[in-house]
Amino acid sequence: IQKRIEELENKKKELKDVEIRIKQKEEKIREYSILSEAFTSIPVSIQNRLKPRIALETSYLVDEMTEGKYSEIELDDDYGILVGYDNELYPVSRFSGGERDLINLSLRIAISRVLVSLSSEHGFSHVQSLFLDEVFSSLDSERRQSLLKALYKLQNHFKQILIITHVEDIKTSVPYAINIEELDGYSVVKSV
């Protein structure tokens, strides 16, 4: 019987140890949950603060690139784009493919400009170049020329606009183009 009592005492002690570990784990889980919620809400609060600036900047760019045809852009809670036209707001999906491409590109540029302005407000240098990678590849010839014309209107916002493309007619439509080809394992740069 004494041996059985000792076994039960040991089991009781083990059970208490397990209960203590469970409580410690529960406390850790609670702490992680609080931290997770805090970290999740930080980006949302930042996004909510930046959304009006991004919408305003997008509106400005779209207005400029469409010569006033569309001058109001709003962003919904999920950053869905609403376009003002004839005193009504419409989802961007209502517009033609070329207009959607132009508006989406404007949004991307606006986000970049707002983030750059934030960094320059905090002492970082101002970015004066815009890099666009393959923004023309999915467009037909007419839309490519329309987008290129719109990009020319951004020249007063950036010292340099660099376009990376494999589309031949774009290379001949810009003031300066370079061609990079591989030759014998080396990259060769040529002015076009």
Let me know if residue 160 belongs to a domain.
yes
3-class secondary-structure state, position 98 = helix
Does 95 fall in a domain? no
Is residue 52 domain-resident? Answer: no
Residue 112 domain flag: no
Q: What is the pLDDT of residues 140-158, one digit of tens each?
A: 787 788 788 888 877 877 7
- pLDDT at site 102: 85
**Residue 120: what pLDDT?**
62
Tokens at 164, concatenated: 């990376």
Q: Give the total number of structural domains in the chain.
A: 1
Check pLDDT > 70 for residue 124.
Answer: no
The answer to the question of residue 186 being in a domain is: yes
Residue 104 covered by a domain? no
39 lies in some domain: no
Q: Which one of 9-13, 35-39, 62-66, 67-71 scores highest in mean pLDDT?
A: 9-13
Rounded CA separation 174/144 (Å): 12
Q: Domain containing 159: what range?
A: 128-192
Query: How long, in residues, is the chain?
Result: 192
Distances (CA, A) of 49 to 42, 52, 54, 72, 114: 11, 7, 10, 19, 11
The per-residue pLDDT for range 164-188, each reduced to its tens digit, is 988 888 888 888 899 888 999 999 9
d(CA 116, CA 42): 19
Any idea what the CATH number is for the domain that residue 185 is in? 3.40.50.300
Please give the residue that has the higher pLDDT: either 122 or 103: 103
Whole-prediction pTM: 0.64
**13 contacts 21 by C-beta, under 8 angstroms:** no
